[in-house]
Structure 1
C-alpha cells in the first residue's frame, strides 16, 4: 500500500515536543512585546510630540518627502507600505506621546530610510515574497501526501518549500534590527527624547526584535521536526 508512517505517529509522536517548544518561545516573545509596550506606553515623552509628529520630523530631517503618515486600526499593526509609500500607525501609536509609541513610529521610519538608502536586504526580502507565499501554501499538502503515499521525495520537496519561510525570516531579522538601530540613532541625534526616555524606547524595540528571533527559532524547530519524521519513515521503508 505504501504507508510508511512509523507506528508511533498514530499513537505518540515524540517530535511533537518541538512544536510545544516553538509555541512556548512564540508565546513568550508575544507576551514580552505586549508587556514592554504597555509599560512604556504609559510613560509620556517630555517633548509633547505625538508619534505622528515625530515620524514627520524624522522623514523631513532625512530629506524624504511625499511619504504619508496614516492611521490604521488595531494594536501593533504599524508598518511601512512601500507600494503606497505610506507609514501606517496603529490606534495606540498614531496620536500618542508615549515613549513606546514614538519608538515604534521611529522604527517604521527606519524602514522608509532603508528603501531610500537602497538597503539591499530589504529588497532581497521583498523579491522572494511571492515564492515564499507559494511555498507556505504548498509545503504541508506535499509533505502529508508524500508521507501517506510513501513518496518521501515528495515529502522532502514539501520540507524544502517550507524552508523558504525560514529563509525569509532569516533575511527579515537583520532588516528589522537595522531599522531599530536607525530609529534609536535618529531619536538620539534629533534630541526627540531624553536619555532615560531613549532607553525605554530601546527596550520596546528590542522586545519587538525578539518576536522575529522567536519566528526564526519556531520555523527551525518545525523544519527539524519534518526531517525527523522523514528519517523515521525512511527507516520503516527500509
Structure 2
C-alpha cells in the first residue's frame, strides 16, 4: 500500500542538492585555507579591519568578539555583536579580512534597514519552528493517513524554504558591500580584491546549496503527498 516506506523513490530528488552541498563545503574549506596563508599587505587583523569598517560606516554600537570554531563567523542583530572565529579575529590574511568585512556587511545592512535582512530576521522564529516540526508532523500524518498533519508539515517547511530563499540575496549583498568597502577605503589593493571575492564566492555557494536542498526537500514532501492521495 505504501511502497515508499521501503524504497522511497522521491529520495532521488535530493541527489543534485547533496552533490552540490558536498562540493560547496569542500570548495569553501579549500579556498579559505588557501587564502588564509596569503597575508594582506595592510598587516591588519580581521578584528582590526572589522572595527575600522564599522567606525567608517558610522556604526558605534556594534562590538567585535572572538569565538571558537572554524568558519563560525556571524553577525547577531539582536545583541549587535560581530562574532569572529579565531582564524578571522586574529588572522592578518586576505581570507580573514574578507570574512570580517562580510560580517560587517550584515551590520551595515542592519544599520541602513536593508529590507531583505529585516524580512529574514522577522521570520526566523517561524522558520526555526517549521524546520523542527515539519518532518515529524508530515511523516506522522503519512503513517496515520492524516492529510491535515501532512499539509501542516508542508506549510511549516515552506516557511523554512522561504527563509533560505531570502538568505541568498542577503548574503550576496553583504559580500558585495564587503569588497566595495575594502577597496573603497584602501584596505586592499585591486589585485587583492580577486582572492577576497573567491573566498566570499565559495562561502556564498554553501548558501546556494542549502537553498537548493530546502527546495528539493519541499518538492519531495509534495511528491510523497501526491503518492499518498493516489493510493487512497
Larger radius of gyration, structure 1 or 2?
1
Give yes or no for the alignment of 1:60 onto 2:94: no
For residue 12 of structure 1, what is the aligned residue in structure 2?
Answer: 7
For residue 159 of structure 1, what is the aligned residue in structure 2?
Answer: 154
Structure 1: state its 5+ residue gaps. Answer: none
Superposition map of 1:52-131 within 5 A: 52-131=47-126
Residue-pair matches, total:
232
Using structure 1 for the length normalisation, give the TM-score. Answer: 0.94
Aligned equivalents of 2:5 and 2:193: distance in 1?
Answer: 53
Give yes or no for the alignment of 1:30 onto 2:25: yes
* Alignment RMSD: 1.2
Aligned to 2:65, what secondary structure does the other structure show? strand
Aligned equivalents of 1:13 and 1:83: distance in 2?
Answer: 41
Give yes or no for the alignment of 1:229 onto 2:224: yes
The counterpart of 1:190, out of the listed 167, 185, 192, is 185
Structure 2: state its 5+ residue gaps. Answer: none
Shift, 1:220, TM fit = 0.8
> Which has the larger helix fraction?
2
Aligned equivalents of 2:102 and 2:6: distance in 1?
Answer: 47
The counterpart of 2:133, out of the listed 134, 138, 160, is 138
Higher relative contact order (CA 8 A, sep 6+): 1
Shift, 1:12, TM fit = 2.0
Shift, 1:22, TM fit = 2.4
The counterpart of 1:39, out of the listed 34, 38, 61, is 34
Shift, 1:20, TM fit = 3.1
